[in-house]
Structure 1
Amino acid sequence: MEESKTSLKVPPNQDKTQNDIIRTVVGDFGRWQLRISLLMALVKLPIAWFQLSIVFLAPSTKFWCKKPEDFHNITDETWRVLMEPNNTNSAKGLNQGHCLIRNVESSNIDNISEDLISCTNGFIYDTSMFLSSITTEWDLVCDKQKFTDLSQIVFMFGVLLGNIILGVLADKYGRKRILVICLFFQSIFGILASFSPFLWLFILLRFLLALTNGGTMVTSFVLCIEIVEGKWRTIIPILYQIPFGLGNSVMSIVAYFLRDWRKFHLTISLLSFLFVSFIWLIPESPRWLLVAGKKNKAFKELIFAAKENKRDMPNFKDTLQNITHNKSCKDNGKLKQLFSTRELSKRTILLCINWAIAGITFFAFTQYMGFIGNNLFLNVALGGFTVLPGTFLCIFLVSNFGRRLTIAYSHAFTALCFFLILPFPKGVYPFDWPRILFAGCGIIGLSVSIPAIYLYTGELIPTALRNTGLGFVMMFSRLTSMLAPLIISLQDVAVFLPLLILGVATAIQVLLVLPLPETEKSRLPDDIKDIESRYGQNEAKDDENGNQYL
């Protein structure tokens, strides 16, 4: 936090870059940055609720064939014992039950054939844990079980498109405007989905919800990273990730008390609507306003920020007028600009591959962890808290070893954990403690690498393209996340395959991050020219404070 009153005298005739201006006027970190950082971090709560809510919308459910009216004189338990086949014709995958039953003529239970027939009278579901779910309401079992996976695939595809489309729009029209629009429609589509009478309408509304969720995700992170400088540019974007994990825990508590899927989804949607109030609480990014050539609006935001941080600058306006960068945003947010130079193309391609592997690793291993315990609510809640040690460890490593090496080390550690699980078969050791130990260590490794790569990506891409670039490279994590169920299902082919694939993929990430430049103690590039000003020459250009352009 800044000291109470700081008088800053900057010669009015000295040219200043945007980084210099923001740092000089508002400081590295003060009350203004603290307020915005906290608000942006809280936005991660609804992001987590909607992206991970499928766990409670379509939980693992036991089911059996409904008995015909002709068998009203026998109990449900007797019916199940008589009709369920004593073989392997049970449903595979998420839900547990039999899709076929023994054939019986009329109500004569003594005349039961070993021939199997489908359940023509529908299904009965175990409601001991959940009163209702999308599985029980729309009979998403047996041949229709694939629609559960489809609904989540469509959702993740919506997040993918939202990352790109709304990221581009945020670079063109501003961070605040797009973020507030996303927060509003995210809640509206969530509320509408809670009342959907049809499965396909539910999937459509969740897709539209996902579009805005993806926009919220990328825009809130960019706004967070653009307001801080110095050591805080390392700390704040990493701490920003914590509420995503805590959102899991909050969601688990809500689901514990609301066992009906409609009430649960409506509640998280209404809670999400509270974040629309941020329209009065957050500013537009001064960095974006300066890049966009909106000097007057940027001046107003910076003056307000300086006052909130209790900083006094007598020749403030003169200093602002001498900014050397006066750009227009008409070309901001064009995807083709990410490949306009050799250096930026290299960064974009390597980041795309890194995010692709990160997506499949994170979502596949998270799903793999979900089968460890029997208490779903406790598993999800505790899983949310595991991000805390990894996040604080990430801050320590990034501060001492830099971004690139931290990501490389954490990838190597995570891959090692995956490989170390393989020699220990399931069910051999008490409570499977070796598998749980190394799996927990793997989660910590992911908790280090994911926040670090978020930070690293935001620093490698210039301000004029930051939302566009983040949305584009993160698109690949959404694409590969759709493959997570397929990776997990490979254990039916060979038990070791999922972990072997994840381990090899994570090890490859180590090699992919090393060619990228270190960004520690480097100031954020405003545009492509800032990047080329360094990499177009043999030596990096330092500013008066010893900071380099990325």
Structure 2
Amino acid sequence: MGSGDVLEATIGSFGRFQCRIFILVALLKVPISWFQLGIVFMAPPTEYWCRQPEDFKFNLSTEEWRSFIKINETQNPCLMANVEYKNFFNNTLTACKWGYDYDKKIIESSMISEWNLVCGDEHLVNLVQIIFMVGVLLGGILFGILSDHQGRKKTLIICILIQSTLGLISSWIPWFTSFLIVRFFLGLSNGGITVTSFVMCMEIVSGKFRSIIPILYQIPFGLGNSLMALFAYFIRNWRQLQLVLSSFSLVFVSYYWFLSESPRWLIATNQKKRAFEVLEKALRFNRIENKDLGKVLEKFVKKDDKKDFRIIFRERSLRKVTFIMSFEWFFLGNIFYSFTQYLGVIGNNVFINVSISGLITIPASILCLFILKKLGRKLTMTISQLTMSLIFFVLIFENWFPFIWISVILAALGIITLTMSTSVLFLYTGELYPTIVRNSSVGFCSMLAKVGAIISPFIYSTKDYYKFLPLIIMAAMAILNVLILIPLPETLEMDLTDNLKDLEMRTINEEGIENERFLENNQRNKD
């Protein structure tokens, strides 16, 4: 790490001030996970059958009724024997005339049972999640741009307020179409929180902590999953569950009084007075004396820097990074959500499955820290994604496994490699862009992950042609991700760039190092 980092020169790499901000921001990942993955408990796969009319003369039990209306074992649950027909034993079938009844062993009330999203309307369940993901996709880029112009704190508070308010509204709104609209804007705010909170977490630290803190920041997402599974186990009504989770997320509005603006962003945008106030507060928190704070800030504040998001496409070095990172995020997003769907066929208890998948992210993040410190960003991503592809290939032969737990262990290892890859990709992306466009750039790249998420159901549906085709496609995407990563520079031990001038200097240094290596290799060959 060089000596040109503003935090190193003022408040230090990591202290009580940074720790406080980190904890506050990391906790936002808990409600993020609730809203992104809550569909698992809002609309789980539910068994259903045609309802018995209240005035039916035989007044049968549920099991007797289901057997009574069934003509054969493969009968579509949307059809029933025509009990009004004088002789219904002539294999006459009709649509369910009196509605549907649902198995309530797992969930007492779900979106499926409330709005009857069955028998031709099953696709509406997927639409709920697609609409949300489109919102997350757009929210990452829109609020990312807003954050680069208006600040991290202001954008974050706006998104938290929207998310918690709309979460409460979605818990009681009775109309499906209106619910979809609310879900879209809920996704917008969720995407804004995801991107802005990560960038803020990354910008408040420096030195070796820039590798540690952004990785630890991801852990609460998994813990949120496990916590949601616990809530869902005791609250089997989807509206009550949504109300409880949204009420907890409302607590984060208090961040308006506890959160400070990113000093790195203030300095990069030439707001010296506000930066001085934040850093002075941070110095008191960290118990550090810096009498020359004003003079130090003069060194780092730069005027007339462009904050136009479009520079990531116009500047040659940023254009290359954006092109490569777009594919990285798209493929990894596709793999993440496709593999999540694959996990649904392993095990039978949804509460245990979700809880374990969340807890696995803890050892995955710790393992990632050790590897990242030794090997850097590129090599860590290379190892994790090659291992991931190998796991997918081995799972193709699961029919030959003597025990089901072998598949479960491989699936757990797949989650670990996915968690590592995603955590490092967030960190690596943020390091490659300057502060003036970091939030909008991370937002744009992560937007491509949501595009991958939206088309992941189509990748998973290829199992209809060949059972293991989704695994083959995911393995191929992981290998492609490793190959396209090659042209990018390693950012381990490099200072974050705040503006285009810093980026140009880093590019010049990288090219100089490459030239030196080239000359050294030539000299060795001559000798």
Post-superposition shift, 1:324? Answer: 5.3
Cα separation, 2, equivalents of 1:495 and 1:323 = 57
Q: Is the 8 A contact 1:58 1:134 kept in 2?
A: yes
Post-superposition shift, 1:83? Answer: 1.3
Q: Would you say 1:158 and 2:135 are equivalent positions?
A: yes
Compute the TM-score of the two structures, normalised by the length of structure 1.
0.90
Task: Give 1:280's aligned residue.
Answer: 257
Instruction: Tell me which of 33, 40, 55 is aligned to 2:40.
Output: 55
SS at match of 1:205: helix
Instruction: Tell me which of 267, 270, 281 is aligned to 1:304.
Output: 281
Task: Give 2:395's aligned residue.
Answer: 421
Q: Is the 8 A contact 1:18 1:287 kept in 2?
A: no
Post-superposition shift, 1:536? Answer: 4.3
Cα separation, 2, equivalents of 1:276 and 1:270 = 11
Q: Would you say 1:100 and 2:85 are equivalent positions?
A: no
SS at match of 1:117: strand
Cα separation, 2, equivalents of 1:214 and 1:299 = 30
Task: Give 2:493's aligned residue.
Answer: 521
SS at match of 1:319: helix
Cα separation, 1, equivalents of 2:6 and 2:206 = 11
Cα separation, 2, equivalents of 1:20 and 1:422 = 48
- What pairs with 1:98-247 in structure 2 (closer than 5 Å)? 98-106=77-85, 108=86, 110-247=87-224
Cα separation, 2, equivalents of 1:291 and 1:297 = 12
Task: Give structure 1 stretches of 5+ with no counterpart.
Answer: 1-16, 91-97, 542-550
Task: Give 2:439's aligned residue.
Answer: 467
Instruction: Tell me which of 342, 345, 352 is aligned to 2:319.
Output: 345
Cα separation, 1, equivalents of 2:207 and 2:282 = 17
Post-superposition shift, 1:21? Answer: 3.1
Pick closer, same or farther for the CA change 1:392–1:72 going to 2, 3 Å. farther
Post-superposition shift, 1:444? Answer: 1.2
Pick closer, same or farther for the CA change 1:21–1:111 going to 2, 3 Å. closer
Q: Is the 8 A contact 1:105 1:112 kept in 2?
A: no
Instruction: Tell me which of 376, 395, 400 is aligned to 2:350.
Output: 376
Task: Give 2:22's aligned residue.
Answer: 37
Pick closer, same or farther for the CA change 1:300–1:62 going to 2, 3 Å. same
- Residue type matched to 2:68 in 1? L
Q: Would you say 1:539 and 2:512 are equivalent positions?
A: yes
Task: Give 1:13's aligned residue.
Answer: none
Q: Pick the structure with more helix per residue.
A: 2
Post-superposition shift, 1:314? Answer: 2.2
Cα separation, 2, equivalents of 1:283 and 1:239 = 20
Q: Is the 8 A contact 1:171 1:464 kept in 2?
A: yes
Post-superposition shift, 1:70? Answer: 5.1
Q: Would you say 1:81 and 2:67 are equivalent positions?
A: yes
Cα separation, 1, equivalents of 2:300 and 2:309 = 27
Q: Is the 8 A contact 1:421 1:434 kept in 2?
A: no
Q: Is the 8 A contact 1:18 1:323 kept in 2?
A: no
Pick closer, same or farther for the CA change 1:199–1:311 going to 2, 3 Å. same
Post-superposition shift, 1:277? Answer: 0.6
Post-superposition shift, 1:157? Answer: 0.3
Pick closer, same or farther for the CA change 1:72–1:327 going to 2, 3 Å. farther
- What pairs with 1:257-406 in structure 2 (closer than 5 Å)? 257-323=234-300, 325-327=302-304, 331-332=306-307, 334-406=308-380
Cα separation, 1, equivalents of 2:398 and 2:292 = 68
- Residue type matched to 1:420 in 2? V
Cα separation, 2, equivalents of 1:87 and 1:313 = 79
Post-superposition shift, 1:321? Answer: 2.9
Task: Give 1:11's aligned residue.
Answer: none
Task: Give structure 2 stretches of 5+ with no counterpart.
Answer: 515-527
Q: Is the 8 A contact 1:534 1:540 kept in 2?
A: no
Equivalent pairs, count: 511
- Residue type matched to 1:31 in 2? R
Cα separation, 2, equivalents of 1:532 and 1:314 = 31
Cα separation, 2, equivalents of 1:115 and 1:310 = 83
Compute the TM-score of the two structures, normalised by the length of structure 2.
0.94
Task: Give 2:449's aligned residue.
Answer: 477
Cα separation, 1, equivalents of 2:304 and 2:211 = 27
Post-superposition shift, 1:115? Answer: 3.1
Cα separation, 2, equivalents of 1:397 and 1:434 = 25
Task: Give 1:7's aligned residue.
Answer: none
Percent identity (aligned): 42
> Alpha-carbon deviations, 1:56-112, whole Å to 9, x = none?
00011111001234524231322211212425343xxxxxxx111223334x5x533
Instruction: Tell me which of 49, 55, 59 is aligned to 1:64.
Output: 49
Cα separation, 1, equivalents of 2:320 and 2:274 = 34
Instruction: Tell me which of 434, 447, 450 is aligned to 2:422.
Output: 450
> Alpha-carbon deviations, 1:178-205, whole Å to 9, x = none?
0001001100000001111111111111
Post-superposition shift, 1:376? Answer: 1.1
Post-superposition shift, 1:325? Answer: 1.8
> Alpha-carbon deviations, 1:12-45, whole Å to 9, x = none?
xxxxx99533212100000011100111110100
Post-superposition shift, 1:466? Answer: 0.5
Pick closer, same or farther for the CA change 1:20–1:509 going to 2, 3 Å. closer
SS at match of 1:28: coil
SS at match of 1:101: strand
Cα separation, 2, equivalents of 1:297 and 1:33 = 17
Post-superposition shift, 1:218? Answer: 0.3
Task: Give 2:409's aligned residue.
Answer: 437
Q: Is the 8 A contact 1:347 1:516 kept in 2?
A: yes
Cα separation, 2, equivalents of 1:99 and 1:491 = 24
Cα separation, 2, equivalents of 1:304 and 1:68 = 70
